[in-house]
Structure 1
């Protein structure tokens, strides 16, 4: 494999065009752009990070439209994930909005949610997660996830970790847009630095939530 040279700006251009031309005919005519400017660079990113973080899955471009009212055949982003447990992992994607990194718990099952809430009822575990989340926010990361609009049933108004308890998933992310280093090998360094910053969150989730046992 040739040395990683970054993610070309043509990848962003490709997704800008795809957002307004999401048809099989357009894709067939532009498949070479996807292979050259999107797929190959993302596979190279994955390879460059594997020694430190482990093997990545580069997602396929096709959408599963069987149960969706949106029948657009192709995803409008290209992502890859290094899985740390079922429904948890490090993530990076490129789209019309540019580059994004993320890490955490991105989909949940009932047993995972139960373990997460039980951990937050433990003062030490809850305080540890609060410190991790506060630290990520202070460092400029967005803390996100699927959240209930109200507190979970049976949780008192004065619970010390009420905001965290509303989460059914929990991740941190940074959106870069199109930085000047995007088409350079520096991409690898920025992604790796973010993934290292997510490691305390990943470790907490691994210890207290873990993969689905359902």
Structure 2
């Protein structure tokens, strides 16, 4: 397999491709514009990931097709191209490009109740819980947004008055920064921005790897 060319940015055509896809999300349109996807979206993303692999590891490029088996939305294609570097497909560093521009961050998406239980136990414990709160405070100060499904009041077994109740409400925890469509998105600077973003997220992913893990303990090798 030929190695990706050196990353030189996401061309404006990548954003235009997704803007048009939002209006024409069909198999016929996709097939007629697949060459644009390959050239202006997929190849630049692979080149970006190749440039980050030495520091962060091998990435998984998410496929463009949507899973339409569940839910009312039957549009066949995702309106963004995402990729993840980390353990499996649920814990690590994330990057995506869409009509709205560049987004990068990291964290974990819960794959099981047991994973959420391990997360909450670590948040509840004074030492690990306070460590995480410090990490999240630093990320907020750097304009990261906290994301992830959460309950409205308090999870079972925890009091609403718990000092870390806001974090305990999360079933999963991700942080993200949206960079929009700055002029540098079409230059090599975009790689530097993603690298710096992932470095900022590293304390969170390190904490999650230690206290949550990507798989059930019995399935680990």
Shift in Å, 1:63? 0.9
Shift in Å, 1:71? 1.1
Answer yes or no: is 1:138 the counterpart of 2:151.
no
CA–CA separation in structure 2 for the residues paired with 1:116 and 1:59 = 25
Shift in Å, 1:79? 0.5
Q: Segments of 4+ in structure 1 off by > 3 A?
A: none
3-state SS of 1:100 partner: strand
3-state SS of 1:16 partner: helix
Query: What stretches of structure 2 of length at least 5 have no aligned partner?
Result: none
- 1:9 aligned residue (12, 26, 42): 12
Answer yes or no: is 1:48 the counterpart of 2:48.
no
Answer yes or no: is 1:78 the counterpart of 2:76.
no
- 2:128 aligned residue (116, 121, 125): 125
3-state SS of 1:181 partner: helix
Q: Which residue of 2 aligns with 1:182?
A: 185
Shift in Å, 1:85? 5.2
- 1:97 aligned residue (73, 76, 100): 100
3-state SS of 1:146 partner: coil
Q: 1:42-95, CA deviations, whole angstroms, 9 ceiling, x for partnerless residues?
A: 011111110110011111111111223211111100011112356201010001
| TM-score for both structures, normalised by structure 1 | 0.96
CA–CA separation in structure 2 for the residues paired with 1:170 and 1:184 = 31
Q: Which residue of 2 aligns with 1:157?
A: 160
CA–CA separation in structure 2 for the residues paired with 1:21 and 1:191 = 29
CA–CA separation in structure 2 for the residues paired with 1:59 and 1:34 = 13
Query: What stretches of structure 1 of length at least 5 have no aligned partner?
Result: none
Answer yes or no: is 1:37 the counterpart of 2:40.
yes
- Residues 81, 98 of structure 2: 8 Å contact kept: yes
Aligned length: 214
Q: Which residue of 2 aligns with 1:168?
A: 171
CA–CA separation in structure 2 for the residues paired with 1:121 and 1:34 = 45
Answer yes or no: is 1:212 the counterpart of 2:215.
yes
